[in-house]
Amino acid sequence: MQYVTSVERIGMRKGERIGRLEGRVEGRVEGRLEGKAEMLLKQLQVRFGSVPDPVRERVSSAEIEELDAWAVKIFQADSLQTVFQ
């Protein structure tokens, strides 16, 4: 059995806390991403009608920066395709 010093134990506890914090941060980022994607899909549907599955998939797999850019473009776009150009 390996001996663990008190300093090592403190480090392990801090590591556990850091791991939990990182998990929470990742969860929040994922939640924001999903929320933005859902909102954009609702806006697209209201503005242009039915949203095809390929567009839904593209929005669902997009990064936050893309979603933000498309959310701005929707106000000036004449068509669904124009939003994604």
The predicted structure's pLDDT at residue 71: 94
pLDDT band at 17 (very low <50, low <70, confident <90, very high): low
DSSP 61: T
d(CA 17, CA 20): 5
54's tokens: 């390929």
Q: Taking residues 35-42, what's their average pLDDT?
A: 95
pLDDT band at 11 (very low <50, low <70, confident <90, very high): low
The predicted structure's pLDDT at residue 31: 78
The predicted structure's pLDDT at residue 30: 76
What pTM, to 2 d.p., does this model score?
0.69
Evaluate if residue 12 carries a pLDDT over 60.
Answer: no
